[in-house]
Amino acid sequence: MIALQLGKIAKVTDRYFWILCIMGAFAILSSTMSKDPVLNPFALSLGTPTDLTGIVAAASTIPGILVSLPAASLSDVFGRRKILIVSTVIFASAPFMYLLVGNWWQLALVRFYHGFATAIFVPVAEATIAEQYPSKRGERISDFNSATYVGRGVAPFLGGAILGVTNFGYHTLYLAVGIAGITSFVIALLMLRETKIRPSDQAKPKFETKNMIRGWVQVATCKATLVVTFVQAVQYYVFGVIEFFLVQYMLQVAKFDPLNVGIVMGIQIVSLIVSRPLMGRFSDRSSRRLPVVLGCVLSGVLLFAIPFTTQFWILIAISIGYGLGFAMVISSTSPIIVEANPACLVGTSMGFLATMMDVGQAIGPIISGVILASILSYNGLFSSLTILLAASAAVFFLSGIAKTKQEQKGKSNLLEC
């Protein structure tokens, strides 16, 4: 009887996992196609000053700083499904607001609203997975993120093709973004309401603000949390810059057409999709530490080379390598932070990680926009990214956290609520 019950729980858990993957694929397709590769040329077409383009790029990541931690913490109390459905409402409604945009600050406001969707969805979904698969956190979180990166990977190709066919028809593209967002919302309504997570997810503690804040303090004062969130913030600082300014570099300096820009950006995501599950399995079964250090170094070396080439195939190779380096790092950061904190704070720890991730992704384009507008130009911009990645690798290596998988497991087993 016990074996039968466990089998039923496993089937329900797996079904819920695949629902999250399907939802995530459409949701991230929608959010990514709204910016890659359309956002930069759309912002410039509205007359956005060069030194303010970073603000437009960063607007969608600011909500992550504001709500990722509270939303994930509230999901510890009120349940994951309700919070996930709220995020899909934003995914479905935000794309149609782009059709009303007439100047750059209106675009920034729409980006700000749209950013709440991903800020809520990702940490809550990852917290659910980390909770349901305690022995396969790295693998399952990586599988989920690879599913979302299917959407993220299709977006640049599809967005570039739409822009190319319609001669930069921005409204047509944002209608396609809206269709993907609505699909995610429909899946949430029709499928999540019929799917229950295992019984342990149903018993939630009574909500008290002081307990939530106490949990935030506990997570934020953990050494491993501080180190891992720094590494994560740097990764997404760099990712936010590459996502926005590499497009500009290819359009203005390399003189690529929109389709080729979409191919270069899309192949980076394909590299992430393919490599992240492999890195997640390696992280679970061998080492959390090695992929983080190697990934930072690999990414830093490749990005340093960008301003020295305008060749399509070289940029393709750099894009593939950067996607691999990025995957190596983020396949380990989520499991480390979950294992470094008590089980009752899974949502809070993932929310804190997402918050610091968005801090990095928000300030990256802003600072880089200023660097780009200076005499340093693209050489200074990409060199600054290499320096940051090298610094994060050094901090992580010298911190001594996650030295061996056995030490990490031992620590995790001691953390009880």
Q: What is the predicted pLDDT for the residue at 236?
A: 92
End-to-end CA distance of the chain: 29
Joined together, the tokens standing for residue 10 give: 């496993």
Residue in 233, 223, 190, 215 with CA at minimum distance from that of residue 356? 233
Q: What is the predicted pLDDT for the residue at 23?
A: 92
Q: How many CA atoms lie within 13 A of 22 on its CB side?
A: 16
| Rg for the chain, CA atoms, rounded | 20
Please classify residue 411 by burial: count the beta carbons closer than 10 Å to its beta carbon, then call 0-12 exposed, 13-18 middle and 19+ buried: middle
* Per-residue tens of pLDDT for the chain, all 417 residues: 434 443 444 455 678 788 889 999 999 999 989 987 888 889 989 988 877 887 888 888 788 888 988 888 888 777 788 888 999 999 999 999 999 999 999 999 999 999 999 999 988 888 888 888 876 777 788 788 888 878 877 888 898 889 889 988 999 999 999 999 999 999 988 766 655 544 444 445 566 677 788 888 888 888 888 999 999 999 999 998 998 889 889 988 999 888 888 889 888 878 888 888 888 888 877 778 889 999 999 999 999 999 999 999 999 999 999 999 999 998 889 888 888 888 778 888 888 888 888 888 888 888 988 898 888 889 999 999 999 999 999 999 998 886 654 444 444 444 555
Q: Which CATH class is domain 2-195+206-414?
A: mainly alpha
Joined together, the tokens standing for residue 260 give: 């080729």
Joined together, the tokens standing for residue 412 give: 């995790």
Q: What is the predicted pLDDT for the residue at 214?
A: 85
Say how far apart CA 130 and CA 340 lie, in whole Å: 13
Q: pTM, whole model, 2 decimals?
A: 0.73
Angle, alpha carbons 171-242-226 (nearest 5°): 120
DSSP letters for 11-29: HHHHHHHHHHHHHHHHHHH
Angle, alpha carbons 124-128-132 (nearest 5°): 170
- Burial profile 189-222: b = 16 or more Cβ within 10 angstroms, e = fewer: eebbeeeebeeebeeeeeeeeeebeebbeebbeb
The H-assigned helical ranges of 286-345 are: 289-304, 312-339
Joined together, the tokens standing for residue 317 give: 């190779």
Residue in 232, 233, 263, 236 with CA at minimum distance from that of residue 247? 263
Q: What is the predicted pLDDT for the residue at 192?
A: 62
Helix (H) or strand (E) holding 9: helix 2-33
Q: Is 401 left (phi over 0), alpha (psi -120 to 50) or beta?
A: beta
51 neighbors 369 (Cβ within 8 angstroms): yes
Say how far apart CA 297 and CA 216 lie, in whole Å: 31
Joined together, the tokens standing for residue 235 give: 């990764």
Residue in 172, 227, 225 with CA at minimum distance from that of residue 338? 225
294 neighbors 328 (Cβ within 8 angstroms): yes
Fill in the amino acid letter for 86: V
Residue in 358, 381, 387, 57 with CA at minimum distance from that of residue 233? 358
Instruction: Say how many C-beta atoms besides its own lie within 10 A of residue 329's C-beta.
Output: 25
* Helix, strand or coil, per DSSP, at residue 49: coil
- Spatial neighbors of 210 by CB under 8 A, at least 6 apart, are none
Fill in the amino acid letter for 67: V
